[in-house]
């Protein structure tokens, strides 16, 4: 198996006023093509910070990140955005859909940015009937499926998910997890998913435990 994502000695210090808040204190990890990894750990231990660094939404204070052979940390802002668009899909706890666009509109927008694939994905996630609904006309579970569809519309090599089932009831959690697994199987996408849900973690091939800015 090939390594698709590699992080070395990542440190992140947030500056709040005059105070330094160390959020990551030297994290190294590697993920392989097609791997499905869970990240667990108490609130505030640095999980979201790590995910945002891995996806190029934030830059580390120190350390190096290589995505599919491309060095994110050495890249300019424009280059980093470009790598992120081509290689990475994000799913968040709060769905983050555009409220004024329908399900289809949210996907078409992503498709315009990213390329083809919306129809296939809508069918796969069983959302054909909901295409013309706006987010507020959808259940939480349906919104998260649209968000998942949007994240994978251009078949990114890596999907990063931050507590994707955190706002869902158990039935919808199970459905969304099943879809993550299907995407992982069908497209061999590498998935890194932060979760507090032991059932979700059990569905993954590997669990990374974090504590106080470290992987333990």
Ligand X SMILES: Nc1ncnc2c1ncn2[C@@H]1O[C@H](COP(=O)(O)OP(=O)(O)O)[C@@H](O)[C@H]1O
Rounded-to-integer distance, Cα 28 and Cα 16, Å: 25
User: How many residues interact with Mg ion (rule CB under 5 A)?
Assistant: 1
**Min CB(132)–Mg ion separation in Å:** 33
Please pick, from the candidates 4, 5, 7, 23, the single residue that binds ligand X as defined by CB under 6 A: 23
Binding mask 104-123 for Mg ion (x = CB under 5 A): --------------------
The DSSP-derived string for the chain is --EEEEEEEEEEEEEETTEEEEEEEEEEEEEETT-EEEEE--TTSSHHHHHHHHTTSS--SEEEEEETTEETTTS-HHHHHHHHHHHEEEE-TT----TTS-HHHHHHHHHHHH-S-HHHHHHHTT-GGGTT--GGGS-HHHHHHHHHHHHHTT--SEEEEESTTTTS-HHHHHHHHHHHHHHHHHH--EEEEE-S-HHHHHTSSEEEEEETTEE-
User: Which has the closest alpha carbon to 213: 19, 3, 63?
Assistant: 63
Please pick, from the candidates 5, 38, 45, 48, the single residue that binds Mg ion as defined by CB under 5 A: 48
Mention every residue, 6+ apart, whose C-beta is less than 8 A from residue 69.
none
Rounded-to-integer distance, Cα 113 and Cα 117, Å: 12
- Closest to ligand X by CB, 42 or 115: 42
- Closest to Mg ion by CB, 154 or 173: 173
Binding mask 35-74 for ligand X (x = CB under 6 A): ------x-xxxxxxx-------------------------
**Min CB(13)–ligand X separation in Å:** 9
User: How many residues interact with ligand X (rule CB under 6 A)?
Assistant: 12
- Closest to ligand X by CB, 2 or 19: 19
Partner in contact with 40, chosen from Mg ion, ligand X, none, beta carbon below 5 to 8 Å by kind: none
Name the segment binding Mg ion (CB under 5 A); options: 17-25, 42-50, 129-137, 149-157: 42-50
Name the segment binding ligand X (CB under 6 A); options: 13-21, 72-80, 113-121, 165-173: 13-21
Partner in contact with 7, chosen from Mg ion, ligand X, none, beta carbon below 5 to 8 Å by kind: none
Query: Which residues lie near ligand X (CB under 6 A)?
Result: 14, 16, 21, 23, 41, 43-49
Query: Which residues lie near Mg ion (CB under 5 A)?
Result: 48
């Amino acid at each position: 198996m090939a390594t698709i994502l590699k992080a070395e000695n990542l440190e992140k210090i947030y500056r709040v006023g005059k105070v330094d808040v160390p959020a990551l204190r030297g994290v190294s990890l590697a993920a392989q093509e097609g791997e499905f990894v869970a990240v667990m750990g108490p609130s505030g231990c640095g999980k979201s910070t790590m995910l945002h660094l891995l996806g190029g939404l934030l830059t580390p204070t120190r350390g190096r990140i290589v995505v599919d052979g491309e060095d994110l940390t050495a890249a300019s802002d424009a280059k980093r955005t470009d790598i992120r668009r081509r290689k990475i899909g994000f799913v968040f706890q709060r769905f983050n859909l555009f409220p004024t666009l329908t399900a289809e509109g949210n996907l078409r927008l992503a498709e315009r940015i990213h390329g083809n694939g919306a129809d296939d994905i809508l069918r796969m996630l069983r959302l054909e009937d909901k295409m013309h609904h706006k987010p507020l006309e959808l259940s939480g579970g349906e919104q998260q499926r649209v968000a998942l569809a949007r994240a994978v519309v251009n078949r990114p090599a890596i999907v990063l998910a931050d507590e994707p089932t955190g706002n869902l009831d158990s039935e919808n959690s199970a459905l969304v997890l099943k879809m993550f697994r299907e995407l992982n199987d069908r497209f061999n996408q590498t998935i890194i998913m932060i979760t507090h849900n032991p059932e979700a973690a059990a569905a993954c091939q590997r669990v990374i435990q974090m504590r106080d800015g470290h992987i333990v």
